[in-house]
Amino acid sequence: MRAWTVQEFGPFREKLALGQDERPKPAGPTALIKVHAAGINFPDLLMIEGKYQVKPPTPFIPGGEAVGVVVEVGDQSSLGVGDRIITSNQTGAFAEYMLARDASSFAAPEAMTDADAAALLITYQTSYFALAYRAQLKAGEYLLVHGGAGGVGTSAIQIGKALGATVIATAGADDKLEVCRQCGADYVINYSREDFVPTVQEITKGHGADVIYDPVGGDVFDKSTKCIAWEGRLLVIGFAGGRIPQIAANRILLKNISVVGLYWGNYFSHQPELIRKTQEILYQLYAQGKIKPVIYREYPLEGLPEALAAIERRECYGKLVLKPAES
């Protein structure tokens, strides 16, 4: 099979190679799928460079989520040949075939396109866990979403609206602000032209944001503590800005705020049943038209470096999708 492989960690332009690899052999509670589409995420860049929280042993095939059809099953798998599934794994998606674990695989709705299915799992699960479970966002509250035009940002806006929040989104360009509006943001702020702190205070009439969704980190995190509401919840989603921030404990104390972390992947080990329940909730929201992945572009297998470069340059929005094979 054709696959992208990483022999050793480093910049994707130097360490990522397209070639022939052996198909994985399913055993136990796993299955082999023919990949119809794979989601491309910012953490894939970090994984290739060896900068992600988890470092797979090299060599490895990058890519953490995909949709495809089962072509072979392990001796303990509950999946069947011909099943169309959405699956998540730390590696393996950027290839023509991928090994899928039963525990992290879900039947794909017939009405859901391959592109939407490939773009749904990680970002929408992340945002639902963050907003509904970790921050316990309530209807009528103010939600501030940083990086609103990105993959997790667009999902957070849509889920925030579905939960009844008033959503404020930040982005760095006018076209990305329009993406935020189309996702349902009630207010948008161009952080490259204005300081979001006073604008959030003005929008909320001095109340501040009840929940702040931050996949950026760095200075954005630091400034968010200045516009968070009394008893607000500041969600730590990631560090796309590069710098991992620190916070003085007195800031947490003075406003009685909560700084809440969300690493979605760990729930597979601790509360896998909650992931499965959430997937059903997301399917319902999708069927109701309340959520829909924003697809920036679909790429052929050969186009992976181009897609990663678009993410690296921050020129894209929503999700990028790789199409290794025709569905």
Percent of the chain with pLDDT over 70: 99
Model pLDDT for residues 282-314, shown as the tens digit of each residue: 999 999 999 999 999 999 999 999 999 999 998
**Residue whose structure tokens are 């929940």:** 211
Confidence check: pLDDT of 2 > 90: yes
**Which tokens in the block code for residue 289?**
């038209």
2-108+294-323: CATH homologous superfamily? Medium-chain alcohol dehydrogenases, catalytic domain (3.90.180.10)
* DSSP symbols for 34-87: EEEEEEE-HHHHHHHHT-SSS-PPSSB----EEEEEEEEE-TT----TT-EEEE
Alpha-carbon torsion (292, 303, 34, 268), positive or negative: negative
Going from the C-alpha of 28 to that of each of 36, 50, 155, 311, 318, the distances in angstroms are: 23, 29, 34, 36, 35
d(C-alpha 235, C-alpha 213), whole Å: 5
Domain 2-108+294-323 matches domain 122-265 at the CATH topology level? no
pLDDT of residue 327: 47
Domain ranges of the chain: 2-108+294-323, 122-265
How far is Cα 229 from Cα 212, in angstroms, rounded to an integer?
9
d(CA 230, CA 79): 48
Per-residue pLDDT reduced to its tens digit, 52-102: 888 999 999 999 999 999 999 999 999 999 999 999 998 999 999 999 999
Instruction: Give the tens place of pLDDT for each residue, 171-197.
Output: 999 999 999 999 999 999 999 899 999
Separation of alpha carbons 144 and 194, rounded Å:
15
pLDDT band, residue 326 (cuts 50/70/90): low
Instruction: Give CA angle at 315 (312, 317), nearest 5°.
Output: 100
Domain boundaries 122-265, corresponding CATH code: 3.40.50.720
Q: How confident is the model at residue 239 (pLDDT cuts 50, 70, 90)?
A: confident
Tens digits of residue pLDDT in 151-160: 999 999 999 9
